[in-house]
Every structure is written in C-alpha cells, then in structure tokens.
Amino acid sequence: MTHFALTIIGRDHPGIVAKVTEILYRLGCNIADSSCTILGGQFAMILILSHPKMQSNEEFGTSFAPLEADGLSVFLRKLQPGGESAAEIDGEICMISVYGSDKPGIVYPVAKILGDMQINITDLNTKLVGTPQRPVYVMMIEAVLPAGLEIEELSSALDRLKKDLQVDIAVRSITPVEL
Amino acid sequence: MPVKDVLIYPHPLLKKICAPVEHLDEEIDSLIQDLIDTMVAAGHSVGVAAPQIGAPRRVVVVDVSHSKLGRDDNHGLLVMVNPEILEREGRKVSREGCMSVPDYTGNVVRAESVVVQFLDREGKQRVIRARGFEAVALQHEIDHLDGLLFLDRVSSLKTDLFRRKKR
C-alpha cells in the first residue's frame, strides 16, 4: 500500500479535525500514525496515510480544496516505500528539560550536543511562557541514547552548557515498565 | 505446571469484570501456579493478572524484587486473591506498558503508596502497604480484574507540561 504524509495547519477553531477526517474517510484513506496539536494560535496536524489504490499525489485531485478555502494550508507528500515504518530504536530513553529566561540561541546549542553525541531526538516541544516582561523559554526533549552512552556523560556535557547559556537543564532516565 | 499464553487485546476477557474467588480450591491453586510460571517465563514481567491468561477470576501475582525499579522496596512474590485497595496516597507518574497491549506505552498517574487487603495462597487474610514501583505494579494488575487496561488511565501521550489550564 502506498503511504502519504499529510500536514495541515491553520488558525485553530473547533471542527478542523472533523472536516479533515471526513474528506479522508470519503476518499477511503487509512490514518496510521498521527499527531495534532495547537502551536501558537495554529492547529497543526501531521498524519501518515495509506490508501489501497491511490499511488500518487495527483489522484487526490481537488479533494483538499475545501480545507484551503477554510483558511488551512495543506501539504501532501508521497512516501518512499518503507517510509511508513520506523527503524528499531533501541537504547535508554531520557527526558531533557531545558528552561530559563528567554534569549536567542537556546535550542541549537542543545540540539548540537545531542546530534554530536549521536543521540536521537524522538520528541521535542518548546513553549514560550511567563509574562511579556519576563518571558521564560521551556523546551522538553525525549531522546534515545546510543548503545554504550551513559546518561551521566550526557548530563555532564549539558552541565557545561548550563553555565554558558544561563539556563536550567535536567536530564532523567525514563524506564518504560512492562507490567 | 504450564506456562500460559498471555492474551492480547482485543481479546474480550481483558475487558471483563472478574468474579471473586469463593473457595481456595485446587483449581484456584493451580491457576496461581500458572500465573507464577507465566510471569517467570515472560522474563522481565513483574506481574500477571488471571484474566490475562484466560481466567476471569480475581487473582493476581506480583513480584518486583527482580526488577531494577523495585529491588529496594518490595514484599517479594505476592499472590493476591480477591485483592482490594483500601487506601491510596501520593501521586506517581510512570511510563507503563503491558504484555496484553504490545508496542504501546503511556504515562499513567497512580498512587505512590497503597494499602491492599487480600487472601494469600493459603487463604489467610493479609493487609500490606506497598510503595513506589511495587504499588504501581499492584494497581496495574488489580485494574485488570475490573477490565481496565493502562490505556484507560493514560494521562498524556507525551509530556504533561503543556496540557495545563489557561492562565
């Protein structure tokens, strides 16, 4: 079955999900993985779709035109075969919290360290909170450590950054428990 | 004693309310042994509830003493017949998974400490207080007896942080 990635974003209001999924349902699309959330005032949807017959973007025709008319931006992309399933990520899971007074250049230095250490970010959220006078930046990262890397090594690398950036950083291990 | 297959959702028994045990007879004793054998055979499993091996009765076994998270605070192997949680205290979030719901985990809020009343394998009435990971495991297994899966209790798919009240 051919898989597609569909992303939709637009000013948040009730009914977006219903409109989108009605179109997908009538087309005969399956929704596999999906994640939808509010970012700023926007509702952002990311969906992995499959369809038993459709092979190309063109076959969707003007199906999504009503969404565009409703002020939503729609982007459809065909996945390469196999692109719908994730490679097995095996390693210790950790949560990294980064927060502090808002300033330029918080995300990149943290991400750079993780990238250099071959740490795989599986989830990342950032949010600007606090008051307009005292904005606070909060970033939450869920990541998987490569085999052989201890969480302490990551902690000490991030500790150095903590001083440079003047932000608070905490790393903790998450052990999923099978009960 | 046979190791049983663990039922996988959507098996209907997993959503059924289980019947209390009236008599601790041979049948129940061999069910208990099957539960223990199945838990041990499942390697990293720390507990099994009777409905997970196809017996809709109020029996669970829990043993967190071999797991990293429960090693330091536990009651060893617990066999509980007709368990009832009398008290719940505190709040603890764990990333739970379940043998009956493969390939999915979620953050679940449970009590940090519970007082549980139950009959042991010999039919003796007992009351224990469990803390930490053992308390989490007990609440998870006892939920199975009421047809509840951790999916019924997931508090958030990812982090809890952004799901908060408007200022």
Asked if A123 is an interface residue toward chain B (Cβ–Cβ < 8 A), one would say: yes
> Is B141 one of the annotated active-site residues of the chain?
yes
DSSP helix/strand/coil, B100? coil
Q: How far is CA B166 from the centre of its chain?
A: 35
Asked if B118 is an interface residue toward chain A (Cβ–Cβ < 8 A), one would say: no
Task: Note the pLDDT of residue B163.
Answer: 41
A176/B140 CB distance under 8 A: no
Q: What 8-state DSSP symbol labels residue B16?
A: S
Whether residue A24 is predicted with pLDDT greater than 90 in this model: the reply is yes
Could you give the CA distance from residue A95 to residue A66 in angstroms, rounded to a whole number? 40
DSSP helix/strand/coil, B37? helix
Q: Which of A125, A127, A176 sits opposite B105 (nearest CB)?
A: A176
Looking at residues B84-103, what average pLDDT do you find? Answer: 94
Could you give the CA distance from residue B68 to residue B141 in angstroms, rounded to a whole number? 19
Task: Note the pLDDT of residue A159.
Answer: 95
Q: Which of A95, A138, A179 sits opposite B96 (nearest CB)?
A: A179
Asked if B159 is an interface residue toward chain A (Cβ–Cβ < 8 A), one would say: yes
Q: What is the pLDDT of residues A91-126, one digit of tens each?
A: 899 999 999 999 999 999 999 999 999 999 999 999
B159/A142 CB distance under 8 A: yes
B97/A178 CB distance under 8 A: yes
Between residues B45 and A107, which one has the greater pLDDT? A107
What ipTM does this complex have? 0.79
Could you give the CA distance from residue B127 to residue B138 in angstroms, rounded to a whole number? 13
Global pTM value: 0.87
Asked if A138 is an interface residue toward chain B (Cβ–Cβ < 8 A), one would say: yes
